[in-house]
Structures are given as C-alpha cells and as structure tokens.
A and B are shown apart, each in its own frame.
Chain A
Amino acid sequence: GQNIDQPTEMTATEGAIVQINCTYQTSGFNGLFWYQQHAGEAPTFLSYNVLDGLEEKGRFSSFLSRSKGYSYLLLKELQMKDSASYLCAVRGAGTASKLTFGTGTRLQVTL
C-alpha cells in the first residue's frame, strides 16, 4: 500500500519563506509531484522529482530524498496569492501512472 503524510495547516507571513514537508511509504516509486490547489479549483502542477536533490523553479523549489522517503516544497518571497492547499503526490509502481495524494497542506499567508 501507499501512505503519504503532510501537515494539515501552516501559516506564514508575506515575504517570508515556508517549507512544506511530505513523507511517504510506497510500494515502488516512480516520481513525486507537488500540486497547488486554490479553494474550489483544480490542482495545478508545481514540480516533479524522480532523482534525489533539489529542483528549482522561480520562487518554488522541491527536494527529494528517496532513501528517506521524504520531500519538501520550498516557497520563497511569499505572496498573498500563495494561500492555497499544497498537495504532495507519489507515483508508484505499475503500468497505470496513477498518483497517490496526501491530504494536502493548507497554507495561509498573512500580512
């Protein structure tokens, strides 16, 4: 089976840096995705990691350690529009490229 854990809620200040952690236990591993989801909207792709290390994309970075079953999403220079849920999803083994999602971390950015 697959299990993905991430904090339920986080609060951070505009302009600050926030790190959202995700730990996972899966049968097979074929990549880890981070998605952003604003309330009532569809998830939108942020990042994909399949090898260990840091992937940087503008204000967003994602890190993966396969041996530790651990990833984090780093958001820099926080803006009010970054208030959303952040979903960690793992693609396991098998022919179907299904994603197993965590419950999401609701981030509130305050002034």
Chain B
Amino acid sequence: ETGVTQSPTHLIKTRGQQVTLRCSSQSGHNTVSWYQQALGQGPQFIFQYYREEENGRGNFPPRFSGLQFPNYSSELNVNALELDDSALYLCASSLGTASYNEQFFGPGTRLTVL
C-alpha cells in the first residue's frame, strides 16, 4: 500500500509568481484535504476535495485554488504569491468524509516566497 506522496519537496518562488503543488493520495482514498502550516503553528485547513468536487473551504482567499483528478490525486495552486505564503503545505487523504475517517498526511512541500 503506497502512502500519501507530495511533490516537490521544497520550492522557492518570488512574490507575484504562481505555484502548483501536487499530491497523490493513499491507495483507495477518495478524499484529499490541503493544509498550510506556518513555522511554529498548527496546520490550517485550506480546502477539501471529495470525488473531484470541492467539499469545504477554510478562510483562504480565492487565489488559493485546487483540483482533484479522476485517480483522486490533487493539485493546490496559489496565484500572486505573497511573503506570508511561505509555509509547509500538507496534503492529507482519507477514505471518505465521515467524521471518524483518519486523515493520513503526506511529507509536505516547503514553500519559500522571497
């Protein structure tokens, strides 16, 4: 069974640029959630995708957008990067959206915006 994978591992961008982060969910998982974790903070929920549809969104501006593909892998896109977007971006997959479903986290993508 393959776990959650994310790419790239690290990324450096400059203000105003756009970035795409990728996530492959654990085998059999149809739900992907994205989180932003700033240094010294807990992860903050960005949004969730279930069967290719957005299924809930946190308090992030529209320049954060996402996509889920038929194989349940997912992308997080961030436009017009700002310095405060520097963080660890975590993807978590689960089997469905029920409250008891455990979310399995990937290793994250560390984004640095200069």
Interface residues, chain A, CB within 8 Å of chain B?
Answer: 4, 30-31, 33, 35, 41-45, 48, 50, 87, 89, 91, 94-104
Interface string of B33-47 (1 = CB under 8 A from A): 101000011111100
Task: List the interface of chain B (C-beta within 8 A of A).
Answer: 4, 31, 33, 35, 40-45, 48, 50, 55-58, 90, 94, 96-108
Is the pair B42, A97 in contact by a Cβ cutoff of 8 Å?
Answer: no
Q: Which residues of the other chain, B, contact A98 by a CB distance below 8 angstroms? A: 33, 45, 48, 56, 58
**Complex Cα spacing A102 to B41, Å:** 8
Distance of A73 Cα from B42 Cα, bound (Å): 17
A41 in contact with B48 given A48-B100, A89-B42, A103-B40 (CB within 8 Å): no
Given contacts A48-B102, A97-B99, A103-B40, 8 further A-B contacts (CB under 8 A): A30-B99, A89-B42, A96-B48, A97-B31, A99-B45, A101-B35, A101-B42, A103-B42
A-B contact pairs, 8 of them (CB 8 A): A31-B99, A33-B102, A42-B4, A97-B33, A97-B103, A98-B48, A101-B44, A103-B42
